[in-house]
Amino acid sequence: MQTIGKLEVLRKRVADLRESGKTVALVPTMGALHDGHLTLMRRAREAADHVVASIFVNPRQFGEGEDLDAYPRQLQRDSELLEAEGVALLWAPQPDEVYPTGYATNISVAGVSEGLCGGDRPGHFDGVATVVCKLFNQVLPDMAFFGEKDWQQLAVIRRMARDLDLTRPHVEAIIGVPIVREDDGLAMSSRNSYLSAEQRAQAAALPKAMRDAIAVIAQGGAVGRPLGNLREVLQVSGFDSVDYAEVRDADSLERLEADNGNARLFVAARIGGTRLIDNMAIHAQ
Protein backbone atom coordinates (compact mmCIF):
# COMPACT_ATOMS: atom_id res chain seq x y z
CA MET A 1 0.00 0.00 0.00
CA GLN A 2 1.28 3.45 -0.90
CA THR A 3 0.55 6.50 1.26
CA ILE A 4 0.11 9.62 -0.87
CA GLY A 5 0.05 13.28 0.12
CA LYS A 6 0.11 15.04 -3.28
CA LEU A 7 -2.90 15.20 -5.61
CA GLU A 8 -0.78 14.89 -8.73
CA VAL A 9 0.63 11.58 -7.51
CA LEU A 10 -2.79 10.36 -6.39
CA ARG A 11 -4.25 10.91 -9.86
CA LYS A 12 -1.41 8.94 -11.48
CA ARG A 13 -1.63 6.02 -9.04
CA VAL A 14 -5.44 5.81 -9.36
CA ALA A 15 -5.06 5.80 -13.16
CA ASP A 16 -2.60 2.86 -12.78
CA LEU A 17 -5.15 0.98 -10.66
CA ARG A 18 -7.79 1.52 -13.34
CA GLU A 19 -5.71 -0.18 -16.03
CA SER A 20 -7.66 -2.81 -18.00
CA GLY A 21 -11.02 -1.69 -16.67
CA LYS A 22 -10.48 -2.43 -12.97
CA THR A 23 -12.92 -0.78 -10.55
CA VAL A 24 -12.00 1.49 -7.65
CA ALA A 25 -13.88 2.06 -4.37
CA LEU A 26 -13.25 5.04 -2.09
CA VAL A 27 -13.63 4.90 1.70
CA PRO A 28 -13.28 8.38 3.23
CA THR A 29 -12.32 8.61 6.92
CA MET A 30 -10.78 10.95 9.45
CA GLY A 31 -8.47 8.20 10.75
CA ALA A 32 -8.05 6.76 14.28
CA LEU A 33 -9.40 3.61 12.71
CA HIS A 34 -11.53 1.03 14.50
CA ASP A 35 -13.48 -2.05 13.44
CA GLY A 36 -16.30 0.14 12.09
CA HIS A 37 -13.90 1.65 9.56
CA LEU A 38 -12.31 -1.71 8.80
CA THR A 39 -15.75 -3.15 8.05
CA LEU A 40 -16.20 -0.39 5.45
CA MET A 41 -12.83 -1.40 3.93
CA ARG A 42 -13.94 -5.05 3.78
CA ARG A 43 -17.27 -4.20 2.10
CA ALA A 44 -15.34 -2.07 -0.39
CA ARG A 45 -12.84 -4.88 -1.06
CA GLU A 46 -15.70 -7.28 -1.78
CA ALA A 47 -17.35 -4.85 -4.21
CA ALA A 48 -14.41 -3.38 -6.15
CA ASP A 49 -11.08 -4.52 -7.60
CA HIS A 50 -9.15 -1.87 -5.64
CA VAL A 51 -9.79 0.23 -2.54
CA VAL A 52 -8.55 3.77 -1.95
CA ALA A 53 -8.92 4.93 1.67
CA SER A 54 -8.56 8.55 2.69
CA ILE A 55 -7.56 9.97 6.05
CA PHE A 56 -8.13 13.68 6.38
CA VAL A 57 -9.21 15.51 9.54
CA ASN A 58 -11.17 18.12 7.63
CA PRO A 59 -10.93 21.52 9.37
CA ARG A 60 -14.00 22.89 7.54
CA GLN A 61 -16.39 20.48 9.27
CA PHE A 62 -15.30 21.41 12.81
CA GLY A 63 -16.97 24.39 14.49
CA GLU A 64 -15.28 26.88 16.77
CA GLY A 65 -14.55 25.29 20.15
CA GLU A 66 -14.89 21.75 18.74
CA ASP A 67 -12.19 19.08 18.94
CA LEU A 68 -10.21 19.72 15.71
CA ASP A 69 -6.89 19.93 17.57
CA ALA A 70 -7.65 17.10 19.99
CA TYR A 71 -8.99 14.73 17.30
CA PRO A 72 -6.85 11.55 17.48
CA ARG A 73 -4.19 11.33 14.76
CA GLN A 74 -2.30 8.03 14.40
CA LEU A 75 -1.28 7.69 10.77
CA GLN A 76 1.37 5.01 11.25
CA ARG A 77 -0.96 2.64 13.11
CA ASP A 78 -3.80 3.39 10.67
CA SER A 79 -1.67 2.68 7.62
CA GLU A 80 -0.65 -0.72 9.06
CA LEU A 81 -4.32 -1.60 9.63
CA LEU A 82 -5.25 -0.54 6.08
CA GLU A 83 -2.39 -2.48 4.57
CA ALA A 84 -3.57 -5.61 6.41
CA GLU A 85 -7.04 -5.09 4.88
CA GLY A 86 -5.61 -5.07 1.37
CA VAL A 87 -6.21 -1.37 0.72
CA ALA A 88 -4.27 -0.29 -2.40
CA LEU A 89 -3.73 3.42 -1.74
CA LEU A 90 -3.98 5.69 1.28
CA TRP A 91 -4.73 9.32 0.38
CA ALA A 92 -3.56 11.37 3.37
CA PRO A 93 -3.15 15.00 2.29
CA GLN A 94 -2.23 17.97 4.49
CA PRO A 95 -4.87 20.72 4.79
CA ASP A 96 -3.06 23.08 2.38
CA GLU A 97 -3.12 20.40 -0.33
CA VAL A 98 -6.92 20.23 -0.02
CA TYR A 99 -7.52 23.94 0.63
CA PRO A 100 -4.67 25.86 -1.02
CA THR A 101 -4.30 29.62 -0.57
CA GLY A 102 -7.24 31.36 -2.24
CA TYR A 103 -9.63 28.45 -1.79
CA ALA A 104 -13.14 29.99 -1.85
CA THR A 105 -15.80 27.41 -2.67
CA ASN A 106 -18.40 25.92 -0.37
CA ILE A 107 -21.10 23.29 -0.99
CA SER A 108 -24.23 23.68 1.08
CA VAL A 109 -27.00 21.07 0.97
CA ALA A 110 -30.35 22.34 2.31
CA GLY A 111 -33.16 20.20 3.75
CA VAL A 112 -31.63 16.95 4.99
CA SER A 113 -28.78 18.85 6.65
CA GLU A 114 -31.20 20.79 8.87
CA GLY A 115 -31.68 19.84 12.52
CA LEU A 116 -30.07 16.85 14.27
CA CYS A 117 -26.26 17.20 13.91
CA GLY A 118 -26.75 20.07 11.44
CA GLY A 119 -28.65 21.97 14.14
CA ASP A 120 -26.05 21.38 16.85
CA ARG A 121 -23.04 21.91 14.59
CA PRO A 122 -23.72 24.91 12.32
CA GLY A 123 -21.70 24.68 9.10
CA HIS A 124 -20.70 21.06 9.79
CA PHE A 125 -22.47 19.55 6.79
CA ASP A 126 -21.22 22.31 4.46
CA GLY A 127 -17.73 21.19 5.48
CA VAL A 128 -18.60 17.52 4.95
CA ALA A 129 -20.30 18.06 1.57
CA THR A 130 -17.44 20.25 0.35
CA VAL A 131 -14.67 17.83 1.30
CA VAL A 132 -16.54 14.74 0.09
CA CYS A 133 -17.22 16.40 -3.27
CA LYS A 134 -13.51 17.19 -3.51
CA LEU A 135 -12.55 13.62 -2.54
CA PHE A 136 -14.92 12.27 -5.20
CA ASN A 137 -13.35 14.55 -7.82
CA GLN A 138 -9.83 13.70 -6.70
CA VAL A 139 -10.27 9.91 -6.78
CA LEU A 140 -13.17 9.59 -9.29
CA PRO A 141 -14.22 6.27 -7.70
CA ASP A 142 -16.75 3.85 -9.16
CA MET A 143 -18.30 3.57 -5.71
CA ALA A 144 -17.91 5.01 -2.22
CA PHE A 145 -18.66 3.57 1.22
CA PHE A 146 -19.96 5.41 4.30
CA GLY A 147 -21.19 4.25 7.71
CA GLU A 148 -24.81 4.45 8.76
CA LYS A 149 -23.62 5.70 12.15
CA ASP A 150 -23.54 9.07 10.42
CA TRP A 151 -26.98 8.52 8.82
CA GLN A 152 -27.64 12.23 8.26
CA GLN A 153 -24.20 12.62 6.66
CA LEU A 154 -25.02 9.81 4.23
CA ALA A 155 -28.32 11.55 3.35
CA VAL A 156 -26.46 14.84 2.74
CA ILE A 157 -23.88 13.16 0.50
CA ARG A 158 -26.54 11.33 -1.52
CA ARG A 159 -28.54 14.54 -1.96
CA MET A 160 -25.40 16.36 -3.13
CA ALA A 161 -24.52 13.58 -5.61
CA ARG A 162 -28.07 13.65 -7.00
CA ASP A 163 -28.29 17.44 -7.19
CA LEU A 164 -24.87 17.93 -8.79
CA ASP A 165 -25.34 15.00 -11.24
CA LEU A 166 -22.16 13.36 -9.98
CA THR A 167 -21.18 10.33 -12.04
CA ARG A 168 -18.07 9.17 -10.18
CA PRO A 169 -19.53 7.88 -8.03
CA HIS A 170 -23.11 7.90 -9.24
CA VAL A 171 -25.60 8.38 -6.39
CA GLU A 172 -26.63 4.69 -6.63
CA ALA A 173 -23.01 3.71 -5.95
CA ILE A 174 -22.86 5.60 -2.64
CA ILE A 175 -23.20 2.68 -0.28
CA GLY A 176 -24.23 2.78 3.38
CA VAL A 177 -22.81 0.16 5.77
CA PRO A 178 -24.73 -0.78 8.97
CA ILE A 179 -23.38 0.44 12.31
CA VAL A 180 -20.69 -1.73 13.90
CA ARG A 181 -21.13 -1.93 17.68
CA GLU A 182 -19.09 -2.92 20.71
CA ASP A 183 -20.25 -6.00 22.68
CA ASP A 184 -22.36 -3.82 24.99
CA GLY A 185 -24.09 -2.14 22.05
CA LEU A 186 -22.21 1.17 21.96
CA ALA A 187 -21.61 2.29 18.36
CA MET A 188 -17.89 2.26 17.57
CA SER A 189 -16.51 5.78 17.15
CA SER A 190 -13.07 7.37 17.16
CA ARG A 191 -14.38 9.74 19.82
CA ASN A 192 -15.05 6.83 22.23
CA SER A 193 -11.32 7.09 23.00
CA TYR A 194 -12.06 10.36 24.85
CA LEU A 195 -14.14 8.45 27.46
CA SER A 196 -12.73 7.52 30.88
CA ALA A 197 -13.35 3.91 32.01
CA GLU A 198 -16.31 5.06 34.08
CA GLN A 199 -17.80 7.12 31.26
CA ARG A 200 -17.26 4.23 28.82
CA ALA A 201 -19.27 1.93 31.10
CA GLN A 202 -22.02 4.56 31.45
CA ALA A 203 -22.12 5.12 27.67
CA ALA A 204 -23.69 1.67 27.15
CA ALA A 205 -26.90 3.20 28.52
CA LEU A 206 -27.33 5.05 25.19
CA PRO A 207 -28.06 2.09 22.87
CA LYS A 208 -30.02 0.37 25.64
CA ALA A 209 -32.26 3.41 26.24
CA MET A 210 -32.75 3.68 22.48
CA ARG A 211 -33.79 0.03 22.18
CA ASP A 212 -36.22 0.47 25.09
CA ALA A 213 -37.77 3.57 23.47
CA ILE A 214 -38.04 1.76 20.15
CA ALA A 215 -39.88 -1.16 21.75
CA VAL A 216 -42.59 1.31 22.84
CA ILE A 217 -42.65 3.39 19.63
CA ALA A 218 -42.94 0.26 17.47
CA GLN A 219 -46.24 -0.52 19.17
CA GLY A 220 -47.72 2.65 17.69
CA GLY A 221 -48.80 5.97 19.09
CA ALA A 222 -47.00 9.26 19.67
CA VAL A 223 -43.24 9.36 20.19
CA GLY A 224 -43.28 12.13 22.84
CA ARG A 225 -43.48 10.01 25.97
CA PRO A 226 -40.88 7.34 25.02
CA LEU A 227 -38.45 10.11 24.01
CA GLY A 228 -39.09 11.88 27.33
CA ASN A 229 -38.31 8.64 29.16
CA LEU A 230 -35.15 8.17 27.10
CA ARG A 231 -33.89 11.63 28.10
CA GLU A 232 -34.57 10.86 31.78
CA VAL A 233 -32.83 7.47 31.62
CA LEU A 234 -29.73 9.01 30.01
CA GLN A 235 -29.52 11.72 32.63
CA VAL A 236 -29.83 9.19 35.47
CA SER A 237 -27.19 7.00 33.75
CA GLY A 238 -24.49 9.70 33.87
CA PHE A 239 -25.01 11.63 30.62
CA ASP A 240 -24.69 15.41 31.10
CA SER A 241 -27.09 16.42 28.36
CA VAL A 242 -29.06 15.21 25.37
CA ASP A 243 -28.50 17.37 22.26
CA TYR A 244 -31.40 15.74 20.44
CA ALA A 245 -33.64 12.69 20.61
CA GLU A 246 -35.96 12.60 17.63
CA VAL A 247 -37.83 10.23 15.40
CA ARG A 248 -37.54 11.04 11.71
CA ASP A 249 -38.43 9.44 8.41
CA ALA A 250 -35.39 7.33 7.43
CA ASP A 251 -35.28 8.70 3.85
CA SER A 252 -36.62 12.27 3.86
CA LEU A 253 -35.39 12.93 7.42
CA GLU A 254 -38.64 14.76 8.10
CA ARG A 255 -39.43 14.94 11.80
CA LEU A 256 -42.22 12.59 12.93
CA GLU A 257 -44.51 12.86 15.93
CA ALA A 258 -45.74 9.28 15.39
CA ASP A 259 -44.29 6.17 13.75
CA ASN A 260 -44.93 6.02 9.97
CA GLY A 261 -43.54 2.54 9.30
CA ASN A 262 -40.23 3.95 7.92
CA ALA A 263 -39.15 5.73 11.08
CA ARG A 264 -35.71 5.95 12.67
CA LEU A 265 -34.65 7.13 16.10
CA PHE A 266 -31.73 9.62 16.20
CA VAL A 267 -29.94 10.60 19.40
CA ALA A 268 -26.91 12.74 20.28
CA ALA A 269 -25.90 12.94 23.94
CA ARG A 270 -22.93 14.21 25.88
CA ILE A 271 -20.97 12.42 28.56
CA GLY A 272 -18.18 14.53 30.05
CA GLY A 273 -17.03 16.63 27.09
CA THR A 274 -17.70 13.82 24.62
CA ARG A 275 -20.61 13.93 22.19
CA LEU A 276 -21.90 10.51 21.12
CA ILE A 277 -24.37 9.91 18.29
CA ASP A 278 -26.44 6.88 17.37
CA ASN A 279 -29.47 5.95 15.27
CA MET A 280 -31.67 2.87 14.98
CA ALA A 281 -34.59 1.75 12.80
CA ILE A 282 -37.92 1.54 14.63
CA HIS A 283 -38.81 -1.57 12.62
CA ALA A 284 -36.34 -4.36 11.86
CA GLN A 285 -35.12 -4.05 8.25
Ligand X SMILES: Nc1ncnc2c1ncn2[C@@H]1O[C@H](COP(=O)(O)OP(=O)(O)OP(=O)(O)O)[C@@H](O)[C@H]1O
| CA separation for the pair 181, 217 (Å, rounded) | 22
Residue 108 neighbours by CB under 8 Å, 6+ apart = 125, 126, 129
Question: Quick check: 36 binds ligand X (CB under 6 A)?
Answer: yes
Residues annotated in the binding site for ATP, as ranges? Answer: 30-37, 147-150, 180, 188-191
Closer by beta carbon to ligand PAF, 29 or else 39: 29
Minimum CB distance to ligand X, residue 179 (Å): 4
Closer by beta carbon to ligand X, 87 or else 223: 87
Pairing state between β 263-271 and 241-249: antiparallel
The interface with ligand X within residues 219-248 (CB under 6 A) comprises: none
Minimum CB distance to ligand BAL, residue 212 (Å): 25
Residues annotated in the binding site, as ranges? Answer: 30-37, 61, 147-150, 153, 180, 188-191
Left if phi > 0, otherwise alpha if psi is -120 to 50, otherwise beta: which for 180? beta
| CA separation for the pair 22, 40 (Å, rounded) | 19
Residue 188 neighbours by CB under 8 Å, 6+ apart = 34, 35, 36, 149, 179, 180, 181, 182
Question: Quick check: 61 binds ligand PAF (CB under 6 A)?
Answer: yes
The interface with ligand PAF within residues 132-151 (CB under 6 A) comprises: 132, 150
DSSP string of 200-257, one letter each residue: HHHHTHHHHHHHHHHHHHTT-SBSHHHHHHHHHHHHHTT--EEEEEEEEETTT--B-S
Q: Which of 82, 187, 247, 271 binds ligand X (CB under 6 A)?
A: 187
Left if phi > 0, otherwise alpha if psi is -120 to 50, otherwise beta: which for 128? alpha
Residues annotated in the binding site for (R)-pantoate, as ranges? Answer: 61, 153
Minimum CB distance to ligand X, residue 177 (Å): 5
Minimum CB distance to ligand BAL, residue 225 (Å): 30
Question: Quick check: 190 binds ligand X (CB under 6 A)?
Answer: yes
79 binds, among ligand BAL, ligand PAF, ligand X, none (CB under 5 to 8 A by kind): none
Q: How many residues bind ligand PAF (CB under 6 A)?
A: 10
124 flagged as catalytic: no
Q: Which residues are catalytic?
A: 37
